[in-house]
Amino acid sequence: MVPRINGVEAKSIFTKSGLPGSDWVINPYNGCLFGCMYCYAAQIARWKHPDEEWGSYLDVKTNAPELLKEELEKLEKKLKSKDFGSVFFSSVTDPYVGMEPKYRLTRKCLEVLADFGYEGSIAIQTKSPLVMEDIDVLKRLKKVSVGFTITSLDDKVSQFLEVKAPLISQRLGALKKLHDAGISTYAFVGPILPHFLTDKKILKTLLDTLQQAGVNEVWFEHINLSSKIKERLYNYLGKEAPELLPLFDSTNTQEYRDHLDHYINQEINSRGMKLGLGKVIHHRSLPKKK
Ligand code: SF4
Protein backbone atom coordinates (compact mmCIF):
# COMPACT_ATOMS: atom_id res chain seq x y z
CA MET A 1 0.00 0.00 0.00
CA VAL A 2 1.37 3.43 -0.92
CA PRO A 3 1.18 5.74 2.12
CA ARG A 4 -0.79 8.96 1.85
CA ILE A 5 1.40 11.98 2.64
CA ASN A 6 -0.41 15.22 3.45
CA GLY A 7 1.24 18.60 3.85
CA VAL A 8 -0.48 20.47 6.69
CA GLU A 9 -0.05 23.79 8.50
CA ALA A 10 0.20 23.21 12.24
CA LYS A 11 -1.40 25.72 14.62
CA SER A 12 1.06 24.91 17.40
CA ILE A 13 4.14 22.72 17.66
CA PHE A 14 5.65 23.21 21.13
CA THR A 15 2.85 21.69 23.15
CA LYS A 16 2.36 20.68 26.78
CA SER A 17 3.07 17.02 27.32
CA GLY A 18 0.86 14.52 29.08
CA LEU A 19 3.64 11.93 29.12
CA PRO A 20 5.55 10.97 32.24
CA GLY A 21 9.02 12.52 32.38
CA SER A 22 8.49 15.35 29.90
CA ASP A 23 7.01 18.85 30.09
CA TRP A 24 6.74 19.61 26.38
CA VAL A 25 6.39 17.58 23.25
CA ILE A 26 7.22 18.29 19.60
CA ASN A 27 5.55 16.27 16.83
CA PRO A 28 6.87 17.41 13.43
CA TYR A 29 4.60 14.78 11.86
CA ASN A 30 1.22 13.35 12.78
CA GLY A 31 0.87 9.64 12.08
CA CYS A 32 3.62 7.09 11.71
CA LEU A 33 4.52 4.89 8.76
CA PHE A 34 6.19 2.28 10.97
CA GLY A 35 2.75 0.95 11.87
CA CYS A 36 3.65 -0.91 15.09
CA MET A 37 0.86 -3.24 16.14
CA TYR A 38 0.92 -2.18 19.79
CA CYS A 39 1.11 1.57 19.12
CA TYR A 40 -0.78 3.73 21.63
CA ALA A 41 -0.40 6.76 19.34
CA ALA A 42 -2.60 5.01 16.79
CA GLN A 43 -5.57 5.97 18.97
CA ILE A 44 -4.42 9.44 20.00
CA ALA A 45 -3.33 10.69 16.59
CA ARG A 46 -6.02 9.28 14.38
CA TRP A 47 -8.86 11.60 15.31
CA LYS A 48 -8.08 13.47 12.10
CA HIS A 49 -8.04 10.21 10.14
CA PRO A 50 -10.72 8.05 11.73
CA ASP A 51 -11.18 5.79 8.71
CA GLU A 52 -7.58 5.33 7.67
CA GLU A 53 -5.41 2.45 8.75
CA TRP A 54 -2.61 3.38 11.16
CA GLY A 55 0.65 3.31 9.22
CA SER A 56 -1.00 4.28 5.93
CA TYR A 57 -0.88 8.08 6.26
CA LEU A 58 1.41 10.84 7.45
CA ASP A 59 0.64 14.50 8.04
CA VAL A 60 3.75 16.56 7.42
CA LYS A 61 3.69 19.80 9.43
CA THR A 62 5.47 21.90 6.86
CA ASN A 63 5.57 25.04 9.02
CA ALA A 64 6.91 23.24 12.12
CA PRO A 65 10.39 24.88 12.28
CA GLU A 66 9.13 28.46 11.76
CA LEU A 67 6.31 27.95 14.20
CA LEU A 68 8.68 26.47 16.79
CA LYS A 69 10.93 29.52 16.54
CA GLU A 70 7.97 31.84 17.11
CA GLU A 71 6.67 29.83 20.04
CA LEU A 72 10.06 29.61 21.75
CA GLU A 73 10.55 33.37 21.43
CA LYS A 74 7.09 34.05 22.90
CA LEU A 75 7.74 31.73 25.82
CA GLU A 76 11.14 33.27 26.45
CA LYS A 77 9.53 36.70 26.75
CA LYS A 78 6.91 35.35 29.12
CA LEU A 79 9.14 33.16 31.29
CA LYS A 80 12.35 35.22 31.06
CA SER A 81 14.32 32.04 30.58
CA LYS A 82 15.60 29.69 27.88
CA ASP A 83 14.70 26.63 29.92
CA PHE A 84 10.98 25.79 29.87
CA GLY A 85 11.50 22.22 31.08
CA SER A 86 12.08 18.87 29.41
CA VAL A 87 11.18 18.44 25.75
CA PHE A 88 10.29 15.14 24.08
CA PHE A 89 10.38 14.19 20.39
CA SER A 90 7.69 12.76 19.77
CA SER A 91 4.40 11.45 21.14
CA VAL A 92 2.24 10.75 18.07
CA THR A 93 4.88 9.88 15.49
CA ASP A 94 8.44 8.68 15.24
CA PRO A 95 10.58 11.81 14.71
CA TYR A 96 12.70 9.87 12.20
CA VAL A 97 9.87 8.26 10.30
CA GLY A 98 10.82 7.34 6.71
CA MET A 99 9.84 10.72 5.18
CA GLU A 100 12.31 12.65 7.35
CA PRO A 101 15.10 12.50 4.71
CA LYS A 102 12.73 14.30 2.33
CA TYR A 103 11.32 16.95 4.68
CA ARG A 104 14.00 17.18 7.42
CA LEU A 105 11.44 18.66 9.82
CA THR A 106 12.90 17.00 12.91
CA ARG A 107 16.36 18.17 11.95
CA LYS A 108 15.12 21.72 11.31
CA CYS A 109 13.30 21.79 14.66
CA LEU A 110 16.49 20.64 16.41
CA GLU A 111 18.38 23.40 14.59
CA VAL A 112 15.83 25.93 15.83
CA LEU A 113 16.32 24.70 19.41
CA ALA A 114 20.11 24.83 19.01
CA ASP A 115 20.06 28.34 17.46
CA PHE A 116 17.73 29.51 20.23
CA GLY A 117 20.16 28.12 22.83
CA TYR A 118 17.52 26.01 24.53
CA GLU A 119 18.75 25.19 28.02
CA GLY A 120 16.29 22.51 29.11
CA SER A 121 16.75 18.82 28.45
CA ILE A 122 15.70 17.33 25.12
CA ALA A 123 14.98 13.63 24.61
CA ILE A 124 14.57 12.16 21.14
CA GLN A 125 13.07 8.70 20.98
CA THR A 126 13.05 6.74 17.78
CA LYS A 127 13.29 3.37 16.10
CA SER A 128 15.33 4.72 13.21
CA PRO A 129 19.10 5.00 12.72
CA LEU A 130 18.36 8.10 10.57
CA VAL A 131 18.92 10.11 13.75
CA MET A 132 22.65 9.55 13.21
CA GLU A 133 22.52 11.93 10.24
CA ASP A 134 21.84 14.71 12.75
CA ILE A 135 24.79 14.10 15.10
CA ASP A 136 26.19 17.51 14.10
CA VAL A 137 23.02 19.26 15.33
CA LEU A 138 22.74 17.05 18.41
CA LYS A 139 26.21 18.17 19.42
CA ARG A 140 25.07 21.80 19.34
CA LEU A 141 22.31 21.17 21.91
CA LYS A 142 23.10 21.77 25.56
CA LYS A 143 21.33 18.74 27.10
CA VAL A 144 20.21 16.08 24.71
CA SER A 145 19.75 12.33 24.83
CA VAL A 146 18.68 9.87 22.15
CA GLY A 147 16.65 6.82 23.04
CA PHE A 148 15.93 3.78 20.94
CA THR A 149 12.93 1.57 21.49
CA ILE A 150 14.19 -1.96 22.03
CA THR A 151 11.41 -4.46 22.65
CA SER A 152 13.40 -7.62 21.97
CA LEU A 153 16.81 -8.63 20.65
CA ASP A 154 15.26 -10.71 17.92
CA ASP A 155 14.82 -9.08 14.50
CA LYS A 156 12.01 -11.52 13.74
CA VAL A 157 10.04 -10.20 16.72
CA SER A 158 10.56 -6.61 15.64
CA GLN A 159 9.53 -7.42 12.07
CA PHE A 160 6.42 -9.15 13.32
CA LEU A 161 5.18 -6.42 15.67
CA GLU A 162 6.95 -3.28 14.45
CA VAL A 163 6.05 -4.11 10.90
CA LYS A 164 7.76 -1.34 8.94
CA ALA A 165 10.25 -0.05 11.51
CA PRO A 166 14.02 -0.53 11.18
CA LEU A 167 15.28 -3.79 12.65
CA ILE A 168 16.40 -4.09 16.27
CA SER A 169 19.91 -5.01 15.12
CA GLN A 170 20.11 -1.67 13.26
CA ARG A 171 18.85 0.19 16.33
CA LEU A 172 21.47 -1.44 18.56
CA GLY A 173 24.17 -0.54 16.06
CA ALA A 174 22.97 3.08 16.07
CA LEU A 175 22.94 3.22 19.88
CA LYS A 176 26.58 2.14 19.94
CA LYS A 177 27.60 4.64 17.25
CA LEU A 178 25.84 7.52 19.00
CA HIS A 179 27.48 6.58 22.29
CA ASP A 180 30.88 6.43 20.57
CA ALA A 181 30.17 9.88 19.07
CA GLY A 182 29.69 11.25 22.60
CA ILE A 183 25.88 11.55 22.52
CA SER A 184 24.00 10.55 25.67
CA THR A 185 21.76 7.55 24.95
CA TYR A 186 19.07 5.49 26.62
CA ALA A 187 16.90 2.53 25.73
CA PHE A 188 13.16 2.29 26.00
CA VAL A 189 11.88 -1.24 26.57
CA GLY A 190 8.26 -0.68 25.85
CA PRO A 191 5.94 -2.25 25.60
CA ILE A 192 7.38 -5.09 27.66
CA LEU A 193 6.50 -8.14 25.60
CA PRO A 194 5.29 -11.25 27.41
CA HIS A 195 8.51 -13.20 27.35
CA PHE A 196 10.62 -11.72 30.13
CA LEU A 197 9.21 -13.96 32.81
CA THR A 198 8.79 -17.06 30.67
CA ASP A 199 12.55 -17.12 30.17
CA LYS A 200 14.50 -15.05 32.68
CA LYS A 201 17.66 -15.17 30.58
CA ILE A 202 15.97 -12.83 28.07
CA LEU A 203 16.09 -9.79 30.35
CA LYS A 204 19.64 -10.54 31.44
CA THR A 205 20.83 -10.85 27.83
CA LEU A 206 18.93 -7.71 26.84
CA LEU A 207 20.54 -5.64 29.59
CA ASP A 208 23.99 -7.11 28.87
CA THR A 209 23.61 -6.19 25.19
CA LEU A 210 22.46 -2.67 26.01
CA GLN A 211 25.40 -2.17 28.34
CA GLN A 212 27.75 -3.33 25.60
CA ALA A 213 26.18 -0.66 23.36
CA GLY A 214 27.08 1.95 25.99
CA VAL A 215 23.56 2.34 27.40
CA ASN A 216 23.30 3.02 31.11
CA GLU A 217 19.72 4.25 31.41
CA VAL A 218 16.79 2.01 30.52
CA TRP A 219 13.09 2.82 30.64
CA PHE A 220 10.56 0.03 30.95
CA GLU A 221 6.86 0.29 30.19
CA HIS A 222 4.19 -2.37 30.57
CA ILE A 223 2.06 -3.03 27.57
CA ASN A 224 -1.01 -0.83 27.32
CA LEU A 225 -3.96 -3.15 26.66
CA SER A 226 -6.69 -0.55 26.82
CA SER A 227 -9.65 -1.51 24.65
CA LYS A 228 -8.76 0.20 21.35
CA ILE A 229 -5.10 -0.80 21.44
CA LYS A 230 -6.02 -4.34 22.41
CA GLU A 231 -8.59 -4.58 19.61
CA ARG A 232 -6.04 -3.72 16.93
CA LEU A 233 -3.26 -5.87 18.40
CA TYR A 234 -5.47 -8.87 19.09
CA ASN A 235 -7.03 -8.73 15.61
CA TYR A 236 -3.54 -8.95 14.17
CA LEU A 237 -2.39 -11.70 16.55
CA GLY A 238 -5.63 -13.60 15.96
CA LYS A 239 -4.85 -13.72 12.24
CA GLU A 240 -1.07 -14.12 12.32
CA ALA A 241 -0.21 -15.98 15.53
CA PRO A 242 -3.29 -16.95 17.59
CA GLU A 243 -1.13 -19.12 19.85
CA LEU A 244 0.31 -15.89 21.33
CA LEU A 245 -3.06 -14.57 22.55
CA PRO A 246 -3.10 -16.49 25.86
CA LEU A 247 0.47 -15.34 26.51
CA PHE A 248 -0.49 -11.67 26.12
CA ASP A 249 -3.57 -12.28 28.28
CA SER A 250 -1.44 -13.80 31.02
CA THR A 251 0.54 -10.55 31.37
CA ASN A 252 -2.56 -8.49 32.01
CA THR A 253 -2.69 -8.92 35.78
CA GLN A 254 -1.31 -6.83 38.60
CA GLU A 255 0.47 -9.87 40.09
CA TYR A 256 2.37 -10.54 36.87
CA ARG A 257 3.39 -6.93 36.57
CA ASP A 258 4.42 -6.58 40.23
CA HIS A 259 6.54 -9.69 39.90
CA LEU A 260 8.14 -8.39 36.71
CA ASP A 261 8.78 -4.94 38.25
CA HIS A 262 10.63 -6.58 41.12
CA TYR A 263 12.73 -8.66 38.73
CA ILE A 264 13.53 -5.67 36.50
CA ASN A 265 14.56 -3.54 39.49
CA GLN A 266 16.79 -6.33 40.75
CA GLU A 267 18.54 -6.78 37.40
CA ILE A 268 18.98 -3.05 36.81
CA ASN A 269 20.35 -2.45 40.32
CA SER A 270 22.73 -5.40 40.20
CA ARG A 271 24.33 -3.89 37.08
CA GLY A 272 24.51 -0.34 38.46
CA MET A 273 22.25 0.85 35.64
CA LYS A 274 19.61 3.57 35.93
CA LEU A 275 15.89 2.86 35.62
CA GLY A 276 14.10 5.69 33.75
CA LEU A 277 11.72 7.57 36.09
CA GLY A 278 12.96 5.25 38.86
CA LYS A 279 10.15 2.80 38.16
CA VAL A 280 8.51 0.66 35.52
CA ILE A 281 5.72 2.62 33.81
CA HIS A 282 2.19 1.29 34.33
CA HIS A 283 -0.85 2.57 32.47
CA ARG A 284 -3.68 1.63 34.78
CA SER A 285 -4.40 -0.71 37.64
CA LEU A 286 -5.36 -4.21 36.62
CA PRO A 287 -7.68 -6.77 38.14
CA LYS A 288 -6.23 -9.25 40.64
CA LYS A 289 -5.69 -12.66 39.14
CA LYS A 290 -8.44 -15.09 40.10
S1 SF4 B 1 7.31 3.93 15.88
FE2 SF4 B 1 6.21 4.67 17.68
S3 SF4 B 1 4.67 6.10 16.87
FE4 SF4 B 1 5.41 4.87 15.16
S5 SF4 B 1 3.93 3.19 14.99
FE6 SF4 B 1 5.66 2.48 16.24
S7 SF4 B 1 5.04 2.88 18.38
FE8 SF4 B 1 3.69 4.09 17.03
Mean pLDDT of the chain: 94
Residue closest by Cα to atom 3 of ligand 1: 93
Q: Does residue 285 fall inside a structural domain?
A: no
DSSP labels, the chain: -PPEEEEE--S-SEEE--STT-SEEE-SEES-TT--TT-SHHHHHGGG-TTSPTTSEEEEETTHHHHHHHHHHHHHHHHTSS--S-EEE-SSS-TT-TTHHHH-HHHHHHHHHHHHT--SEEEEEES-GGGGGGHHHHTTSSEEEEEEE-S-S-HHHHHHHSTTSPPHHHHHHHHHHHHHTT-EEEEEEEEEPTTTTTSTHHHHHHHHHHHHTT--EEEEEE----HHHHHHHHHHHHHH-GGGHHHHHHT-SHHHHHHHHHHHHHHHHHHT-EEGGGS-B--S--PPP-
Integer Cα distance of 264 and 206 in angstroms:
11
Q: Which residues line ligand 1 (CB under 6 A)?
A: 32, 34-36, 39, 41, 93-94, 127, 162, 165
Strands 57-61 and 29-30: antiparallel
**pLDDT by residue (tens digit) across 105-163?**
999 999 999 999 999 999 999 999 999 999 999 999 999 999 999 999 999 999 999 99
Q: Does residue 286 fall inside a structural domain?
A: no
Average confidence (pLDDT) over 209-214: 98
Q: Does residue 287 fall inside a structural domain?
A: no
Q: What pLDDT sits at residue 44?
A: 78
Q: Does residue 224 fall inside a structural domain?
A: yes
Which pTM value belongs to this model?
0.95
For a pocket test of ligand 1, which of 37, 93, 232 has the largest count of ligand atoms closer than 8 A to its C-beta?
Answer: 93
Domain region containing 151: 4-278
Strands 87-89 and 121-126: parallel
CATH number of domain containing 101: 3.80.30.30
Atom of ligand 1 nearest to the CA of 165: 1
Compute the distance from residue 55 Cα to the ligand 1 centre, in Å: 9
Compute the distance from residue 148 Cα to the ligand 1 centre, in Å: 12
Confidence class for position 287, pLDDT limits 50, 70, 90: low
Residues recorded for the chain: 290
**pLDDT by residue (tens digit) across 20-55?**
899 999 999 999 999 999 998 887 767 788 888 999
pLDDT above 80 for 285: no
Compute the distance from residue 90 Cα to the ligand 1 centre, in Å: 10
More confidently predicted of 199 and 151: 151
Atom of ligand 1 nearest to the CA of 54: 5
- Total structural domains within the chain: 1
Q: What pLDDT sits at residue 290?
A: 43
pLDDT above 90 for 176: yes
Cβ–Cβ < 8 Å for 39, 225 = no
Q: Does residue 38 fall inside a structural domain?
A: yes
Contacts of 8 (CB under 8 A, 6+ apart): 30, 59, 60, 61, 62
Q: Does residue 284 fall inside a structural domain?
A: no
**pLDDT by residue (tens digit) across 50-101?**
888 999 999 999 999 999 999 999 999 999 999 999 999 999 999 999 999 9
Q: Does residue 283 fall inside a structural domain?
A: no
Integer Cα distance of 41 and 219 in angstroms:
18
**pLDDT by residue (tens digit) across 214-259?**
999 999 999 999 888 999 999 999 999 999 999 999 988 999 999 9
Q: Does residue 176 fall inside a structural domain?
A: yes
